[in-house]
Structure formats: C-alpha cells, structure tokens
A and B are shown apart, each in its own frame.
Chain A
Amino acid sequence: MSQEMLALLIEALWETLYMVAVSAGIATVIGVPLGVILVATSRGHILQNLWLNRILGYIANATRSTPFIILMVAIIPLTRVLAGTSIGTNAAIVPLSIAAIPFVGRVVESALREVDYGLIEAAQAMGASPFQIIRRVLLPEAMPSIVLGLTLAVISLIGYSAMAGAIGGGGLGDLAIRFGYQRFRVDVMISTVVILIALVQLVQTAGDRVSQRLNKK
C-alpha cells in the first residue's frame, strides 16, 4: 500500500473517531437525562408524570424506528441549520447524535430499572429528595450497566458513522465506498474493515473493563 493510501486511511480513521466521539458525547449529555426522566416519571416512581413519560416515550420510539439512512436524509434541513452544511464530518454529527440520543435514553432507562426499588425507599426514609435519589442512588447503582449501555451505543455509532460516509460524511465508510468499492481497491476495503473490527473490539473491551471495575456486587 502506498504512502498516500496510508495517509488517507489515517485521516479517515481520525474522522471516524471524531464523529463518533462528538456524537457519543452529545448523546450521553442528552440521553442520560432522558433515560432518567423516562424512569422517574413512570408509574409509581419518584416523579410520576405519565403524560410527560408517554410523550418522551413516543418521541424516542419514533426516532429509533426510522432507519438511520433515511433519518440522515430526512433531517438534512435541520443539519443545515445546526452545522451550516449538509456534507462533511461536522454535518454527519447531527444525524448521528439524533439517532444515538434515544438509544442512550433507552439503555439508561433499562439500567436504572434494574436498581432495586428498596434502595429508593431506603433513601426516601432517610429524607432524600427526588434529585438526591437520582444523583446519589439511581445513577451510581446503575453505573456498571450504564457503562455497558454506552459501550453498545458507541459501537452502534461506529457502524452508523460508516453509513454517514455514504452521503459524504467522511471517515472510514466514505473511504471504503470511494476507493474500496468504486475503484476496486481490495486492499483499501480490507484495511478499513480490519480497522473497524479492531475499533469495535477495543471499545467493547474497554467498556467491559470499566463496567467490571465499577461493579461492586
């Protein structure tokens, strides 16, 4: 493989990492509170609000049931507003984040539901406010599961980011399509696939480690 090709690969890898990291960050910042709200407002929970719970649930489901490739195209006007353009890595971050937010919301929701309600009751008996319960009981107790959920989200984002490449988002997916597929460069195709596999392995291993470290059960 030529020096030039290698430089392209490294640049594409960097773009992928950038897209995934930024959109995972955004998805976490919005998705974790979303998951918390989905749990806390559910029936019989500390901040029961069925109306809000149902609306957020519908939105999350609607976003998740739209195939990513369609979502990406459908929200191009929004992408233009937020990123100033509809092509390039920055533009790809918008649909990636929007797809990942409800995903993170749902995995955080299921992680928080695993927390024994007895712990919430114990905290209430000690005079904890709903906010204190979320901050000091629910999130720390669910942290090992949340980390595993976020790991899953990052891996999904790596996959989605390759798709984003197909509409000019840059990154490894873009490289694989333009060089590997359209120019019959088998070596490029194989290289990108190997890099993606390695990346996913790395993320999964790191996520497992962190989760295990946090789990004191």
Chain B
Amino acid sequence: MIELKNLQKTYQGDNGSLEALRGVSAHIRAGEIYGVIGKSGAGKSTLIRCINMLERPTTGSVIVDGEELTTMPERQLRDVRKKIGMIFQHFNLLSSRTVYDNVAFPLELAGKTASEIEAAVAPLLELVGLADKRNQYPAQLSGGQKQRVGIARALANRPKVLLCDEATSALDPQTTHSILELLKDINQKFNLTIVIITHEMQVIKEICDRVAVIENGLIIEEGTVIDLFVRPQTATTKDFIRTIVSHDLPDIFADIPFSATPSPGSNLMLRLSFIGTSANEPIIAGLIRRFNVDVNILFGNIDHLKATPFGTLLVEVSGEDAAIQAALQYLQEIELGIEVIGYVARNARTFN
C-alpha cells in the first residue's frame, strides 16, 4: 500500500543543514497497522509527513496505492491527500466549528452537498461515540473526545490510509487505551492501512503488527512486534522495550557481583521470554526433570502484544556445573527468547 524508497530529507538552515532522513526505505502492506517508534528528533515526524507530502523529501520516492507522489503536481496531490487521512498529537480541530462541522470540513473541501455530508457525518459520529456531542465546540470536549473528532474527520473521505502523528501522546493512559481500541476497530472494519508514529512502546505493543525503529534518520530495526520484543537487536530497541517490560533485577540482587563466565559452584541467572503457544509448554518443568537442576523463579510477568500472549521470567538455575551448562544449551536450541544475565556465586546469596 505504501512504498518508501531511500527517502532523504535535508533542511537548509542558517547554521548549516540538518539531515532529518538519511535514506529510509519501508514497505507498508494493505490493512496492517505499522508503527514507527523513535525518540524525539529521530526523524519520525518528518517521515510521516513525507507520506502525504506535507514535507517533500529531498530525494527518494513515495508510492501510495500505486501512485508516485514525489513528482506529482500540487493540484493532483490535493486529490490524493483526500484519500489519506491524518490525525495529530494536538488534534488540530477548528475551534470555530462544532463537532459536526469539523467532521464535515473535509467533505466541504471536496465539494459535497449538505445532504451528502449529513449522510456521511452522522454514522461517523456514531462510530466514534460522539453522536450526542455534534453541536458542541472543541473547547467543550476532553482530549480523548477531541481525538475522536479528529479520527472521524480523518475518515470522512473514506481514505485507504490513516496516518497517526503521535496521536495519543497528549492523552492519559486510559484515554490512550480507548483511542487505540478505536483505531484497532476501524482497522478491522474498513481494512484500513494505519501508520502510527510514536515514542511510546505501549502504543506499539497494543495495536501494531509490524514496527520500525528509527534513529538519526535511519530505520535501525524493523520486523513484527513479536520479533522485536523477543529478539531486540539494538540498544535503542532494548531501551524502548524496557520502558514497558521491566528488565530491572529485583533489589536483592543490587549488591551481588555477576560474572559473565561460569565458575565452579555458581548459579546461572536467566531471563526467558515466551511468545504465544510456547507460553503454554512446560519448559521449566522439563528443565528440572531432564537436567536435574533446580529452577528458582525470581520474577514473572505476562503481557499481550496486540492479541498474542507474551511472558518474561527471571530465573536462577542451580545444580551441578555441567548440568547447568546442558540446560542452558537446551534452552538456546529451542525457539525461545533467552538472555544470560550472568553467573552468581552460590554463597553470595543470602536471601534464600
């Protein structure tokens, strides 16, 4: 649905130039929810603005629904933009218009008649749950309600693509959740392709199918959300995951020295990640039986990536040195996210 090829964007300023994008390529499939996560200044805002040509890339190509946009004249571009909805962090509603008139706005721009507008707007207000607010002004609404108006407005021209520019960043966690549910809902109902840029891993976790991590104007990692959570490759990705899945060790380990290599009589500390069906297999029990080791669960957590269960366990494996190594090898062979935290001398433990 959206094809980005080697996008580069350089801003010329008074103090030299700034490279916001340094060669971004991505393929976003029809009907998927694609997330782009990055810290502020990473280039994600520029990237999403290049998709509908609010920013013209310096070089590279943007193809949306089979049409090359970078070379398209302004007039033709306006028609294409009507098929690309967009919502914003600060909602950008017209304060002088009621809820109804805000949603009607893109239809007015497209030259629709009043009856066509009424026929389109009423069900949209129903969809976003604001039918009773149609004659209120944005100033009378909460942040979540404003974003719902933004969504209804973005859907008015029945777009094929919805761009979300930090759409939940100004909202509290509960409201964020309800807005994400709404986006998930319209994604399924209309088979709408959704591109979300955010700095919040929570957003990626709740609704995205695939995700790209952007840093310094480059996509440094891309894949399904599950892959990214289980096998993050870069430090940046790990940082983002850490914001929602605690990787901190329990306090009692704070003063205990870890070593990267085993020494005689030391215990192994591991973090295990489980995804989907593997979360159901009796791995720990199997470990204990097959290798005659003890497994002590120190911390456990279960979460969902969109609809897929995702668990993490922090365990300490003790037993004969050889048995520990055999158990570790076994765990590394099966499809499981595994991270060796280190080895800890058995007598260093005072808490058990």
Residues on A lying within 8 angstroms of B by beta carbon are: 116, 118-119, 121-129, 132, 136-137, 140-141, 143, 214, 216-217
Q: A118-B88, A132-B109, A136-B105 are in contact. Are A125 and B54 (CB under 8 A)?
A: yes
Q: Work out how many contacts link A and B, with CB atoms closer than 8 A.
A: 63
Given contacts A123-B109, A125-B86, A216-B96, 7 further A-B contacts (CB under 8 A): A118-B92, A122-B92, A124-B54, A125-B84, A126-B105, A141-B94, A216-B137
Evaluate contact between B96 and A127: CB separation under 8 angstroms. no
7 A-B pairs closest in CB distance: A122-B92, A127-B81, A127-B78, A216-B137, A125-B86, A127-B82, A126-B106
CA distance A155 to B153 in the complex (A): 41
Q: How far is the CB of B299 from chain A (nearest CB, A)?
A: 43
Chain A, Cβ-Cβ closest to B136:
A216
Q: Can you report 12 A-B residue pairs in the complex whose CB atoms are below 8 A from each other? A: A118-B88, A118-B90, A121-B54, A122-B88, A125-B81, A126-B86, A126-B153, A126-B157, A127-B78, A141-B95, A216-B95, A216-B139
| Most chain A C-beta atoms within 10 Å of own C-beta, residue among B52, B80, B96 | B96
CA distance A70 to B188 in the complex (A): 71
Q: How far is the CB of A144 from chain B (nearest CB, A)?
A: 8
CA distance A124 to B52 in the complex (A): 9
Residues on B lying within 8 angstroms of A by beta carbon are: 52, 54, 77-82, 84, 86, 88, 90, 92, 94-97, 105-106, 108-110, 137-139, 153, 157, 163
Q: Which residues of B contact A129 (CB under 8 A)?
A: 78
CA distance A127 to B112 in the complex (A): 14
CA distance A128 to B84 in the complex (A): 13
Q: Which residue from B80, B94, B157 sits with its C-beta under 8 Å from A137?
A: B94
CA distance A137 to B92 in the complex (A): 11
CA distance A195 to B94 in the complex (A): 40
CA distance A41 to B79 in the complex (A): 24
Chain B, Cβ-Cβ closest to A140:
B96
Q: Which residues of A contact B138 (CB under 8 A)?
A: 216
Main DSSP-derived SS at the A contact region: helix
CA distance A126 to B88 in the complex (A): 12
Q: A121-B92, A125-B86, A216-B96 are in contact. Are A136 and B109 (CB under 8 A)?
A: yes
Evaluate contact between B109 and A127: CB separation under 8 angstroms. yes
Q: A118-B88, A216-B139 are in contact. Are A126 and B82 (CB under 8 A)?
A: yes
Chain A, Cβ-Cβ closest to B77:
A127
Q: Which residues of B contact A140 (CB under 8 A)?
A: 94, 96-97
Evaluate contact between A217 and B52: CB separation under 8 angstroms. no
CA distance A23 to B52 in the complex (A): 45
Q: Which residue from B90, B92, B109 sits with its C-beta under 8 Å from A128?
A: B109
Q: How far is the CB of A40 from chain B (nearest CB, A)?
A: 15
CA distance A138 to B42 in the complex (A): 31
Q: Which residues of A contact B153 (CB under 8 A)?
A: 126
CA distance A141 to B79 in the complex (A): 24
Q: How far is the CB of A103 from chain B (nearest CB, A)?
A: 24
CA distance A140 to B137 in the complex (A): 14
Q: How far is the CB of B111 from chain A (nearest CB, A)?
A: 10
Q: Which residues of B contact A128 (CB under 8 A)?
A: 78, 109
CA distance A198 to B149 in the complex (A): 45
Q: Which residues of A contact B78 (CB under 8 A)?
A: 127-129
Q: Which residues of B contact A132 (CB under 8 A)?
A: 109
Q: A118-B88, A132-B109 are in contact. Are A124 and B94 (CB under 8 A)?
A: no
Q: Which residues of B contact A125 (CB under 8 A)?
A: 52, 54, 81, 84, 86, 163
